[in-house]
Structure 1
Amino acid sequence: MSHSYVDFTCLVAAVAVFVFWIGYWFVHALAIAYGKWKLHHKSCKLPMETPYPAVSILKPLTGVDVNLFSNLETFFTMEYPVYELLFCISDESDPSLMLVKKLIEKYPKVDARIFVGGEKVGINPKINNIQLGYASAKYELFMISDAGVRMKEDTLIDMVQHLKEDVGLIHQMPFVCDRDGFPAVLEKIYFGTAHARIYLAADFAGVNCATGMSALMRKKLIDDAGGLKAFGCYLAEDFFLAKAIKDRGWKIGICSQPAWQNPGVCHIPTFQKRIIRWAKLRIAMVPSTIVFEPLSECMMLGILAAWSIYWLFECDPLAVYLLHVLFWFLLDWILLSIVQNGPLPFSKFEFVLGWFLRELSAPFLFLNALLRPAIRWKAGVYRLKWGGVVEEINPTVKQ
């Protein structure tokens, strides 16, 4: 191989890396600007031109944690004219059933019903659980909301106001409530920086980034796609629900309030397993993730950028790398403050520790997802096929 060919190949690679690096700084700036403009706008509580449409809210429940009762109670105290709560519980012996009954007794004026047992319509346990509730939903708009999500009094108003005439689905950007302990710090840093950056940029660009933990959509569009049962063959049903809506010419988007996740369990291993599972889903649904996701992480991109700039401009690669990390760190602090919309519930020292742990562990978590594609979720083990279709490997294996 000639020396000139090697030089030319390195030059092309260096230019490509440099362009990607510059482009990713644009993603940082876009996320900050769009987040500042989009998030935490106060919902106008004055009447709309037409009355607020009624909403059916599906709540899939499995098990109980220490925050479940207070999380569910926020759905009974929302300020919204007409809505129904459809609690879907997979088993009669599930302890969440007792909590729901207590809340229904406490708030008798709220339209709430319980569906136990679900219906087996596919592999996805969440779809199976909420199928009965979906089939019994009374209203044209329906919302899927996970058990660990809290609602503010005006959250549903905010979501409905963003559901314009040409919009088929509105979802909330995932974030987390303030909680004690370093694992909570790590979760808040992840959802307020790396996750928020891509989520906000994708929403601005009109890219499908919907997550199913809190999503409001038009029932007719899902019925036209075959109903919820048509999505039971996927684990990432949220992605394919949004795709079905976009494929029919409708827009999707986020509202101004993030989804306030507040699960009772907060441990670093549990959090990392969740990140790995999401990475496995992205790899199966969007194979280009295998290349671009590792390259978009701070430490990996910094190494490549330092090499690229040294090759192109003969700059000190160590200085370039350190400046890269410093500016990434500062921009993440700014973005997290915007998403939090208030003082952060931890010290700057805790942020430094949490940020470095998140960034240094990210490549290893992604490698784990790539090398171990089987997914453990709920009571089953699943194998993902290209395109996102899933098959169950062992339904008896527990988490």
Structure 2
Amino acid sequence: MAVDNNLPAEEASTTSTIIAGVSITWYLFLWSISLLGWRVARTRYSSKPRSPLTSASPSDVPGVSILRPLKGLDCNMFENLESTCLQQYPKFEILFCVAEETDQALTVVEELLQKYPEIDAKVIVGEETVGPNPKVNNLMRAYKGAKYDILWVLDSNVLVDPGTLARAVDALQTPPRPGKRPIGLVHHVPFAHVRERSFGSRVEGAFLNTNHAKMYIALNVLAFDSCVTGKSSMYRRSDIERVNADLKAKPLPPLDEPARAVGSRKGYGMAAFGKFMAEDNMIGMAIWHELGLRHDLSCDIAENAIGRMTFMDYVWRRVRWIRVRKKMVLAATVLEPFTESVIAGLLAAWAVRYFVGLPMWLFLLTHFSIWFIMDLDVQTALAGQPIPRSEQWQFFLAWWTRELCALPIWAVAIVGSTVIWRGRTYKVLANGEAMKVDGETRKGRRDNYEPLSQGP
């Protein structure tokens, strides 16, 4: 019987052809997503229309409670908090939340309240411990005591434009188009404002303002699923009171059902998210999956003031959130390296050489040049101005560092489950839940959660 000695070579050729074809297909798909994010960044953020709500009567607009959780002194803190006092909206209150009376943030808040005595604002001191997430614990009393149903939660290191609140309320109240679900959450693209020109800060800015921004925008435009970074999020407390973070669809309440008191339904409301490390993303997913409400990005950014960061600060920050995402969306996290310019470019360069013989170096030179130009343009669109000529070289170096380090950082993150967050060590559990591993209970043993505060 004759033996076909060419069979192994034919099988190898077929396998190479399939891999090359998949690589090209994936590369084109990735570029289509990137171009979508770039195009929307160029169009949506190029102008900010004035909302009619800015000049409306207080009786004609819904009130908004602005919740700002604080801990310690953040970079640019006075200006960040002041930006909420300057909102061009006729009816809002500001609740500054601190866990302890000795918190240094209180000195900044007191100075702010003296400067703007006409603003409806107050400080809420004390936390309710409903889980290991310190931000949720800090927010609980303000969440329960807020005057209005619409809540706008803003991190302490975020600065916003004076028209942001009005435009966000416009988006939240947008009537649904035929076949579309109503809006349940409005959020904003995080944009790094590098205040301290350290190398780690520049790398963080090069990440947030380019690849992260364009993918964040594109995924929210496509709206396959919830994708929320909670630097700035607006939603209704009445909706949060209907979810419990199990991500299972909830039936609509009967029209004649009386409204429940805030926090009266055990296991529901803000307290349900205290066990998660990324409570912002889980709130978005709960609103999306449990209530069937979609999200919207307004045309504003959440300007994130970045202080002095070393390069290792940047590395461990990225490691922390990759480990959280790994427990929440494993498939997307495993796929993440293939969405980066280096791996996607190398695979496509090999595939093009395989099919048409084009040198890999020539393809990669073109690939990285166009990728960088697009990222630079996204940065410019969101900032509203180009990078100063004196800082362009530093941006270029930071961008390349970010791109080349993405895979090694991912590799470190993917093999671990512990993270350091606000000086404490946590283990990330299934679905993004967190267990504090460096704290001790009063009995001297480690525990997952601290007891729920009994205070009001």
TM range (shorter): over 0.9
How far apart are the structure 1 equivalents of 2:20 and 2:334? 16
Tell me the alpha carbon deviations over residues 265-303 of structure 1, each in whole angstroms, 9 at most, x when there is no partner.
444332332222222222111111343210111111111
Which residue is equivalent to 2:222?
A: 205
Which residue is equivalent to 2:156?
A: 147
Which residue is equivalent to 1:30?
A: 36
1:195 to 192, 208, 212: 212
Check 1:217–1:327 CA distance in 2 against 1; reply closer, same or farther (3 A cut).
Answer: same
2:241 is paired with a residue of what secondary structure?
helix
1:319 to 348, 362, 367: 362
How far apart are the structure 2 equivalents of 1:3 and 1:329? 39
1:256 is paired with a residue of what secondary structure?
strand
* 2:327 counterpart of 1:284: yes
Which residue is equivalent to 1:376?
A: 420
* 2:286 counterpart of 1:244: yes
Larger radius of gyration: 2
* 2:436 counterpart of 1:392: yes
Cα RMSD for the two superposed structures: 2.0
Does the Cα contact within 8 Å between 2:194 and 2:306 map onto a contact in 1?
A: no
Does the Cα contact within 8 Å between 1:143 and 1:216 map onto a contact in 2?
A: yes
Tell me the alpha carbon deviations over residues 317-338 of structure 1, each in whole angstroms, 9 at most, x when there is no partner.
2222222112211221222221
More off after superposition, 67-76 vs 227-236 = 67-76
Does the Cα contact within 8 Å between 1:91 and 1:116 map onto a contact in 2?
A: yes
1:167 to 176, 183, 195: 183
How far apart are the structure 2 equivalents of 1:266 and 1:81? 38
The residue identity in structure 1 corresponding to 2:39 is: A
Tell me the alpha carbon deviations over residues 330-361 of structure 1, each in whole angstroms, 9 at most, x when there is no partner.
22122222122112145332232121111111
More off after superposition, 172-181 vs 247-256 = 172-181
Unaligned regions of 5+ residues in structure 1, if any?
none
Q: TM-score, normalised by structure 1?
A: 0.94
Does the Cα contact within 8 Å between 2:197 and 2:308 map onto a contact in 1?
A: no
How far the C-alpha of 1:66 sits from its partner, in A, is: 4.9
Tell me the alpha carbon deviations over residues 150-175 of structure 1, each in whole angstroms, 9 at most, x when there is no partner.
12211111211211242110001000
1:241 is paired with a residue of what secondary structure?
helix
How far apart are the structure 2 equivalents of 1:322 and 1:167? 43
Counterpart mapping for 1:64-75 below 5 A: 64-75=73-84
How far the C-alpha of 1:102 sits from its partner, in A, is: 2.3
How far the C-alpha of 1:40 sits from its partner, in A, is: 4.3
How far apart are the structure 2 equivalents of 1:46 and 1:240? 32
Does the Cα contact within 8 Å between 1:65 and 1:265 map onto a contact in 2?
A: no
Does the Cα contact within 8 Å between 1:155 and 1:257 map onto a contact in 2?
A: yes
* 2:92 counterpart of 1:83: yes
1:342 is paired with a residue of what secondary structure?
coil
2:300 is paired with a residue of what secondary structure?
coil
2:114 is paired with a residue of what secondary structure?
helix
How far the C-alpha of 1:241 sits from its partner, in A, is: 0.5
The residue identity in structure 2 corresponding to 1:385 is: L
Tell me the alpha carbon deviations over residues 78-125 of structure 1, each in whole angstroms, 9 at most, x when there is no partner.
211111111111112111122212222222211112222200111211
How far the C-alpha of 1:237 sits from its partner, in A, is: 0.7
2:353 to 296, 301, 310: 310
The residue identity in structure 2 corresponding to 1:149 is: V
How far apart are the structure 1 equivalents of 2:367 and 2:288? 37
Q: How many residues align?
A: 397
1:80 is paired with a residue of what secondary structure?
coil
How far apart are the structure 1 equivalents of 2:46 and 2:423? 37
How far apart are the structure 2 equivalents of 1:231 and 1:75? 25
Unaligned regions of 5+ residues in structure 2, if any?
1-6, 176-181, 244-267, 441-445, 447-456
Does the Cα contact within 8 Å between 2:345 and 2:364 map onto a contact in 1?
A: yes
Does the Cα contact within 8 Å between 1:40 and 1:257 map onto a contact in 2?
A: no
How far the C-alpha of 1:70 sits from its partner, in A, is: 2.1
Check 1:160–1:329 CA distance in 2 against 1; reply closer, same or farther (3 A cut).
Answer: same
How far apart are the structure 2 equivalents of 1:235 and 1:380? 12
Check 1:327–1:155 CA distance in 2 against 1; reply closer, same or farther (3 A cut).
Answer: same
1:122 is paired with a residue of what secondary structure?
coil
* 2:254 counterpart of 1:254: no
How far the C-alpha of 1:263 sits from its partner, in A, is: 4.2
Does the Cα contact within 8 Å between 2:160 and 2:301 map onto a contact in 1?
A: no
Q: TM-score, normalised by structure 2?
A: 0.82
The residue identity in structure 1 corresponding to 2:415 is: L
The residue identity in structure 2 corresponding to 1:44 is: R
